[in-house]
């Protein structure tokens, strides 16, 4: 069953120990499966566990209990290095604050995942230009990113997330730092690209409108996922 | 505010342990370098003053020979001089313990029964004076010397002075150090008549100490004695004698001080960088304090109190470290003092309270100087800007061009100033070097920024690391600047020392051509009385395999008040080879005209050269020979005057030979000749060396002289390496989000580790490049300006490629090691550390 699933949680929970008042449960035991090509939005108040869920889904955090599977591979049996390589090859990440490197150009920021993967530039340059063309930044390739507007920065971040043709795109409040008009444009772009590339797309948002554009809209309350 | 200070202090120190530890280390190493050098400098002259006090006690005036001994008839004239209360003669001889040419005893002979003020004369006075006088060679030695050498009362010790052997009998043990702490443990006292007899100097004395009559000023009496006794003697007060030693060592001490100051300079960079980082990190805290009513002065005081505390911690570590470094280098510095300056060796360290005070001032001063800028900046900011996020590196980036221009301007002004006005100024070399070491670091921010701009990012490797160096310019440029200064010092001194060594080697090859050199075990004394037995010279001359024998007569003398080495050789020696490499003039006519040559250091320091007349103090007054030329000489920086042996006899009276240089027929094995010579004269204390052994010995002494320099270089490099660690730790912490991003994008721990090591190597590369250029310039200053001005030596520039490659390797290795810990910490950054803030 899991082979056709892009992302699967089986009894996954996350607890943070060490605070003065004891441990904090960020995610209650959760089980779900997201098939390939599915788009899921997650809404909830601050501190409800949305980002924790996303981090667990990306394999950048480990669950306290349970098993996370990405593209059919259980993360618990993998070494730290294997988890990193799996993330590199299958997951694209977009963040609220873009997380672009200010000392790099637009091109270099987009190229970062391939540089990390050790790919030869000649093998990924066409893909960079294709993506930047697609998001309307083809003429800003060599610009430093700190000269871009917020919307442009998020478009660069989207290109970076999609460069290695991931299976899953995870976005943590991708429009949380943008005005309404720009938010709408950025989400339109993301949906187009996700659709074109048939990606599994999971995103966290505060906006009911943005959340409503997904195939499924999940809510989170105090670490519990409420499935529709 | 004081309570607040107490409450937050522990938390901050715990929070930034590595940062504070590196700050303390920077201060500690700087203090240690300065303290070690000052302790050595102080004790170098203190040892000499101590030996004067031990021998002369409270004598207010000393009469000394100029060449260097005196005829004892001078004593009568001294005693008959109005104002002299008492006067007593002394014989001083540095003798070698037979069979151990490296162990010397400082024999002082005085009249055991004269009512004189020789220190410890009462203690030295034997219980059975008649027996002491009846025992030739009866001596008093210190218990420390007895313990060190395993000697006890009644033992006999064979010593040599020149070719003459003498048997000393240990008559009593006297703790000289209890009355005069700095008295040499090698001090040996005996009756003056015995000393003269044993060492073959009957009728000659070395010193007359004078006690001045009440109401007479010592200076006035000294002046009167000078007038009465003429230029053949020197009349000095103890202070003047101490000043002579200090003057002799002034260049040596000044250069060491300058080198140690570079260490504290590099340390200030480290403190500045650490303070900047710590304060930027805490800007919100200061913002909150200001918003709650804290004044600017209170915030400034808070910051300064913390820095002072760190400075004190650094000082408390630096003081023992500095003393340990001074102690560890005592033997090497002592060897330099005795080899090059003929001064007393340092046996134990005198540590007055002010030397600790100096350490505290240097440490606290360095810490406060390093932190003052960031502290003022932080305390002057308004509350709003403190609470707002801002990035310091952007300010540095915007200032980088101005800093670069300022750096270039400093270098340019220094160069132009030197070329137009500074050539005649003795200290111009230090001014140039200071300008270089201040100007160079100012170039680094723009260079690091430009390097980041041109670095291609086609791989997540060292090129990417270089690119990212420019992202936190405030941190990386400072580390690069500190390393630049350390590397400039390292390369500059290596080039200078390497060039000097090569010059010395070439000079030896050019001028020391004989095959075998023979001297006595006590050759270091530089007196006219330690002579080589004529039988040895005759026997060598008589050998069929000897082409020529060159005799050398030498002793310490004075040109005016300047102590010089006076050498006599046979300028018309047949079968010999040229022994003087000439800088100016020639050796022509020196033998016939009574002219002399002067050494380059003498020429450069006095400005007296070819065509001028010297005024040398002879036993019978001043002699005024013409200077025929200037020769290269690297044996002494005091200066030397060389003349033909016949001229020497004419000026200074007849004398013996201190050493000979033997030219062998082609194909004769020098070592075989040496063995035969030793076998032929088993009872004569000879030191015979082949040409190659002598060369090796000279180079060994040379290397010994610069050993302390290497320690100072290493300390500066260590501080700079700590700067790299600091910079990378700061990056690992400040850029946690960026590192988490790399990890989130699929970078493995190893990749992040390599990236950080790449940053460390990148900083080292910039430091090497800029420091290398600076080092070449510094070497030029040291070789062509400082050395000539202070030591009077011409050094031929030479590239010690192997040494430089070795140092480049050391610097890169140090940078690599300095990067490992921060790289390890960075590589452990989890991807989950991605903050919700922008990068």
CA distance B534 to B520: 12
* CB-based contact A104 B749, cutoff 8 Å: no
Which is more confidently placed, B47 or B741? B741
pLDDT of residue A39: 94
Residue B630 is predicted with a pLDDT of 93
End-to-end CA distance of chain A: 21
Is A95 in contact with A26 (CB distance < 8 Å)? no
Percentage of chain A with pLDDT > 70? 96
Span of A111-115, B341-345, B513-517, B651-655 with lowest mean pLDDT: B341-345
CA dist B529 → B67, B109, B163, B399, B552 (Å): 11, 15, 10, 69, 13
Q: How far is Cα B13 from Cα A136, in angstroms, rounded to an integer?
A: 50
Beta carbons of A84 and B743 less than 8 Å apart: yes
pLDDT tops 80 at residue B288: no
Query: What are the angstrom distances between the C-alpha of B51 and each of B45, B180, B183, B204?
Result: 10, 9, 5, 21
Q: Which residue did the predictor score with more confidence, B266 or A192?
A: A192
B787 or B606, which is more confident?
A: B606
Q: Which residues pair with B173 in a beta bridge?
A: B141
Query: B746 and A93 in contact by Cβ < 8 A?
Result: no
Name all contacts of A137-145 with Cβ < 8 Å and 24+ positions apart. Answer: A137/A106, A140/A106, A141/A105, A141/A106, A141/A107, A142/A105, A142/A106, A142/A107, A143/A105, A143/A106, A144/A102, A144/A103, A144/A104, A144/A105, A144/A106, A145/A100, A145/A101, A145/A102, A145/A104, A145/A105, A145/A106, A145/A109
Query: Per-residue pLDDT for A203 more than 90?
Result: yes
pLDDT of residue B643: 92
pLDDT of residue A2: 42
Report CA dihedral (B578, B582, B585, B587) to the nearest 10 degrees.
-20
Q: Which residues in B lie closer than 8 A to residue A55 (C-beta atoms)?
A: 831-832
Q: What is the mean pLDDT of residues A191-215?
A: 89
Of A98, A111, A113, the CB nearest to B746: A113
Alpha helices (runs of H) in B735-748, residue ranges in sequence order: 736-744
Judged by average pLDDT, the poorest of A88-97, B321-330, B764-773 is B321-330
Segment among B21-25, B228-232, B282-286 with least mean pLDDT = B282-286
pLDDT of residue B599: 93
Q: Out of A100, A101, A117, whose CB is closest to B746?
A: A117
The residue ranges of DSSP E strands in A95-191, in sequence order, are 168-172
Closest by Cβ to A101, choosing from B748, B831, B839 = B839
Higher pLDDT pick, B121 / B127: B127
Is pLDDT above 90 for B597?
yes
Reduced to 3 states (helix: H, G, I; strand: E, B; else coil), residue B87 is strand
Give the Cα separation of A150 and B474 in Å (integer).
Answer: 26
Which stretches of chain A are assigned E, i.e. beta strand? Answer: 5-19, 22-35, 39-44, 65-70, 73-74, 91-94, 168-172, 200-204, 216-221, 224-226
* The Cα angle at residue B411 between residues B406 and B413, in degrees rounded to 5: 90
Buried b (16+ CB within 10 A) or exposed e, A58-97: bbbbbbbebbbbbbebebeeeeeeebbebbbbbbbbbbbb
C-alpha distances out from residue B543 to B354, B518, B537, B683, Å: 62, 15, 10, 20
Question: Hey, CA dihedral for B747, B748, B752, B755, is it positive or negative?
Answer: negative
Of A93, A103, A115, the CB nearest to B744: A93
Separation in Å, CA of A111 to nearest CA in chain B? 9
Among chain B residues, the shortest Cα distance to A89 is held by B746
A99–B838 CB contact, under 8 Å = yes
CB contact under 8 A, A102 and B471: yes
Q: Residue A97 is nearest to which of B457, B458, B836, comparing CB atoms?
A: B836
| Per-residue pLDDT at B8 | 67
Provide the CB-side half-sphere exposure for B274 (13 A, CA).
Answer: 36
In the three-class reduction of DSSP (H, G, I as helix; E, B as strand; rest coil), residue B345 is classed as: coil
Q: How far apart are the first and last CA of chain B?
A: 34
Which of chain B's residues have a Cβ under 8 Å away from the Cβ of A118?
A: 459-460
What is the CA angle B526-B531-B536, rounded to 5?
140
Above 0.95 for ipTM, yes or no?
no
Preferred mutation among B457, B474, B736, B835 to probe A, highest tally of A CBs within 10 A: B457
Q: Among B467, B831, B836, whose Cβ lies nearest the Cβ of A60? A: B831
Nearest to B349 by CA among B376, B369, B372, B325: B325
Are the Cβ atoms of B737 and A99 closer than 8 angstroms?
Answer: yes
Residue B788, CB-side half-sphere exposure with 13 Å CA sphere: 16
| Residue in chain B nearest A96 by alpha carbon | B836
Cis peptide before B68 (omega within 30 of 0): yes
Backbone angles phi, psi at B236, to 5 degrees: -135, 150
Cross-chain residue pair A97–B837, CB shorter than 8 Å: yes
* DSSP character at residue B165: E
Percent of chain A whose pLDDT exceeds 90 = 36
Averaged over B158-163, what is the pLDDT?
82
In this complex, do A160 and B464 lie within 8 Å of one another by their Cβ atoms?
no
pLDDT (mean) for B357-372: 87
Confidence of residue B390 (pLDDT cuts 50, 70, 90): very low
Pick from B58-67, B386-395, B463-472: least confident: B386-395
- Are B831 and A102 inside 8 Å of each other by CB? no
State how far the Cα of B308 lies from the Cα of B364, in Å rounded to an integer. Answer: 6
Q: Rounded to an integer, what distance in angstroms lies between the CA atom of residue B650 and that of residue B635?
A: 25
Q: Identify the weakest region by mean pLDDT among A77-86, B222-231, B523-532.
A: B523-532
Which residue, B314, B310, B319, B313, is CA-closest to B375? B310
Find the mean pLDDT for residues A107-133: 90
Whether A3 has a pLDDT exceeding 50, the answer reads: no
Least confident of A19-23, B320-324, B443-447: A19-23
Instruction: Pinpoint the alpha helices (H) of A6-117.
Output: 50-58, 80-90, 106-117
- Report the percentage of chain B scoring pLDDT > 70: 88
CB contact under 8 A, A61 and B746: no
Which residues partner with B520 through β-bridges?
Answer: B686
Task: Give the chain A residue whose CA is nearest to the CA of B828.
Answer: A80
C-alpha closest to that of B385 among B456, B487, B476, B287: B287
Those residues whose C-beta lies under 8 Å from the C-beta of residue A152, and which sit 6 or more positions away, are A137, A140
Which of A180-184, B113-117, B144-148, B679-683 is predicted with the least confidence, judged by mean pLDDT?
Answer: B113-117
Judge contact between A169 and A161, C-beta under 8 A: yes
Gap between the Cα atoms of B719 and B713, Å rounded: 10
Distance CA A190, CA A183 (A): 10
Contact (CB, 8 A) for B638 and B558: no
Rounded CA-CA distance B700/B713 in Å is 20
Position B511 confidence tier, pLDDT thresholds 50, 70, 90: confident
**Percent of the residues in chain B that have a pLDDT greater than 90, as a whole number:** 10
Residues of B in contact with A95 (CB under 8 A): 834
pTM for this model (two decimals): 0.76
Nearest to B648 by CA among B567, B571, B590, B588: B567
* Secondary structure of residue A35 in the 3-state scheme: strand
Q: CA torsion A184→A188→A189→A190, rounded to 10°? A: 100
Residue-level pLDDT at B392: 47
The predicted-structure confidence for A32-86, as pLDDT tens digits, reads as follows: 999 989 999 999 888 888 888 988 998 888 899 999 999 889 998 988 888 888 9
The neighbouring-strand residues paired with B659 are: B519, B552
Q: What sign results for the dihedral spanned by CA atoms A161, A162, A163, A166?
A: positive
Sheet containing strand A91-94, strands side by side? A91-94, A168-172, A200-204, A39-44, A216-221, A224-226
B384 pLDDT above the threshold of 70: no
Residue B591, SS3 per DSSP? helix
Rounded Cα distance between B265 and B272, Å, is 11
């Amino acid at each position: 069953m899991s082979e056709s699933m892009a992302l699967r949680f089986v009894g996954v929970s996350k607890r943070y120990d060490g605070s003065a008042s004891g441990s904090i449960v960020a995610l209650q035991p959760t089980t779900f499966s997201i098939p390939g090509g599915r788009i899921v939005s997650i809404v909830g108040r601050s501190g409800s566990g949305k980002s924790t869920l996303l981090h667990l889904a990306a394999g950048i955090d480990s669950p306290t209990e349970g098993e996370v599977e990405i593209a059919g591979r259980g993360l618990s049996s993998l070494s730290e290095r294997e988890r990193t390589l799996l993330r590199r090859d299958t997951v694209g990440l977009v963040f609220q604050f873009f997380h672009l490197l200010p000392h790099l150009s637009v091109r270099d920021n987009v190229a970062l995942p391939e540089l990390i993967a050790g790919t030869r530039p000649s093998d990924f340059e066409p893909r960079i230009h294709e993506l930047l063309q697609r998001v309307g930044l083809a003429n800003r390739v060599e610009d430093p990113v700190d000269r871009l507007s917020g919307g442009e920065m998020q478009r660069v971040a989207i290109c970076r997330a999609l460069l290695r043709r991931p299976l899953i795109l995870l976005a943590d409040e991708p429009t949380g730092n943008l005005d309404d008009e720009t938010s709408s444009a950025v989400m339109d772009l993301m949906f187009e690209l996700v659709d074109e590339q048939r990606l599994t797309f999971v995103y966290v948002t505060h906006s009911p409108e943005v959340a409503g554009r997904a195939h499924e809209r999940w809510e989170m309350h105090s670490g519990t996922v409420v499935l529709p | 505010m004081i309570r607040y200070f107490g409450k937050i202090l522990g938390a901050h120190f715990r929070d930034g342990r590595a940062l504070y530890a590196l700050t303390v280390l920077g201060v500690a190493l700087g203090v240690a370098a300065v303290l070690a050098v000052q302790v050595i400098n102080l004790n170098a002259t203190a040892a000499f003053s101590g030996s004067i006090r031990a021998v002369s006690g409270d004598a207010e005036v000393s009469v000394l020979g100029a060449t260097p001994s005196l005829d004892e008839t001078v004593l009568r004239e001294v005693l008959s001089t109005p104002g002299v209360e008492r006067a007593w003669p002394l014989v001083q001889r540095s003798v070698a313990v037979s069979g151990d040419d490296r162990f010397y005893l400082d024999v002082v002979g005085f009249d055991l029964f004269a009512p004189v003020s020789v220190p410890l004369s009462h203690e030295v006075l034997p219980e059975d004076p008649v027996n002491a006088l009846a025992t030739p060679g009866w001596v008093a030695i210190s218990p420390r010397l007895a313990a060190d050498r395993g000697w006890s009362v009644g033992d006999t010790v064979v010593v040599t002075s020149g070719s003459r052997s003498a048997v000393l009998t240990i008559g009593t043990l006297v703790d000289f150090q209890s009355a005069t702490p700095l008295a040499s443990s090698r001090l040996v006292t005996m009756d003056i008549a015995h000393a003269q007899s044993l060492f073959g100097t009957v009728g000659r004395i070395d010193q007359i100490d004078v006690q001045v009559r009440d109401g007479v000023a010592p200076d006035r009496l000294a002046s009167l004695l000078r007038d009465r006794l003429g230029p053949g003697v020197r009349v000095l007060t103890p202070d003047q004698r101490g000043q002579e030693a200090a003057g002799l060592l002034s260049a040596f001490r000044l250069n060491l001080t300058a080198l140690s100051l570079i260490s504290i300079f590099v340390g200030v960079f480290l403190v500045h960088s650490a303070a900047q980082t710590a304060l930027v990190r805490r800007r919100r805290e200061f913002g909150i304090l200001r918003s709650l009513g804290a004044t600017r002065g209170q915030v400034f005081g808070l910051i300064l109190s913390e820095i002072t505390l760190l400075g004190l911690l650094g000082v408390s570590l630096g003081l023992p470290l500095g003393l340990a470094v001074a102690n560890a280098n005592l033997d090497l510095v002592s060897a330099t003092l005795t080899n090059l300056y003929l001064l007393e060796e340092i046996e134990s360290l005198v540590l007055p309270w002010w030397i600790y005070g100096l350490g505290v001032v240097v440490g606290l001063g360095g810490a406060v100087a390093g932190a003052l800028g960031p502290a003022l900046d932080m305390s002057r900011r308004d509350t709003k800007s403190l609470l707002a996020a801002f990035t310091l590196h952007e300010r540095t980036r915007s200032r980088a061009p101005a800093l670069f221009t300022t750096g270039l301007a400093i270098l340019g002004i220094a160069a132009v100033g030197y070329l137009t006005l500074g050539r005649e100024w003795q200290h111009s070399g230090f001014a140039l070097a200071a300008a270089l070491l201040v100007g160079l670091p100012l170039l680094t921010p723009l260079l690091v920024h430009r390097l980041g701009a041109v670095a291609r990012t086609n791989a997540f490797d060292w090129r990417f690391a270089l690119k990212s160096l420019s992202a936190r310019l405030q941190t990386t440029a400072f580390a690069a600047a500190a390393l630049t200064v350390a590397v400039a010092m390292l390369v500059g001194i290596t080039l200078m020392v390497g060039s000097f060594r090569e010059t010395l080697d070439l000079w030896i090859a050019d001028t020391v051509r004989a095959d075998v050199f023979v001297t006595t075990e006590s050759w270091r004394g530089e007196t006219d009385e330690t002579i080589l037995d004529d039988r040895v010279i005759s026997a060598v001359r008589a050998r069929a395999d000897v082409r020529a024998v060159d005799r050398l007569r030498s002793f310490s003398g004075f040109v005016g008040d300047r102590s010089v080495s006076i050498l006599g050789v046979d300028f018309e020696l047949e079968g010999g080879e040229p022994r003087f490499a000439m800088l100016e003039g020639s050796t022509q006519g020196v033998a016939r005209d009574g002219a002399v040559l002067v050494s380059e250091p003498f020429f450069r320091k006095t400005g007296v050269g070819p065509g001028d007349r010297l005024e040398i103090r002879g036993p019978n007054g001043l002699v005024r020979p013409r200077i025929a030329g200037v020769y290269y000489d690297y044996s002494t920086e005091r200066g030397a005057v060389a003349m033909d042996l016949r001229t020497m006899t004419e000026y200074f009276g007849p004398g013996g030979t201190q050493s000979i240089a033997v030219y062998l027929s082609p194909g004769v094995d020098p070592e075989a000749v040496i063995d035969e010579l030793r076998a032929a004269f088993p009872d004569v204390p000879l030191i015979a060396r082949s040409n190659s052994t002598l060369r090796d010995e000279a180079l060994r002494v040379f290397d010994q002289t610069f050993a302390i320099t290497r320690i100072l270089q290493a300390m500066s490099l260590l501080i700079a390496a700590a700067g790299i660690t600091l910079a990378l730790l700061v990056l690992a912490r400040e850029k946690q989000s960026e590192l988490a991003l790399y990890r989130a994008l699929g970078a493995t721990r190893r990749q992040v580790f390599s990236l950080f090591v790449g940053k460390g190597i990148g900083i080292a590369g910039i430091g090497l490049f800029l420091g290398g250029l600076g080092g070449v310039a510094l070497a030029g200053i040291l070789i062509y300006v400082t050395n000539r001005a202070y030591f009077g030596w011409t050094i031929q520039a030479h590239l010690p490629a192997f040494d430089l490659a070795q140092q480049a390797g050391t610097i890169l290795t140090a940078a690599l090691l300095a990067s490992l810990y921060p790289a390890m910490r960075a590589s452990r950054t989890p991807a989950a550390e991605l903050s919700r803030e922008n990068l």
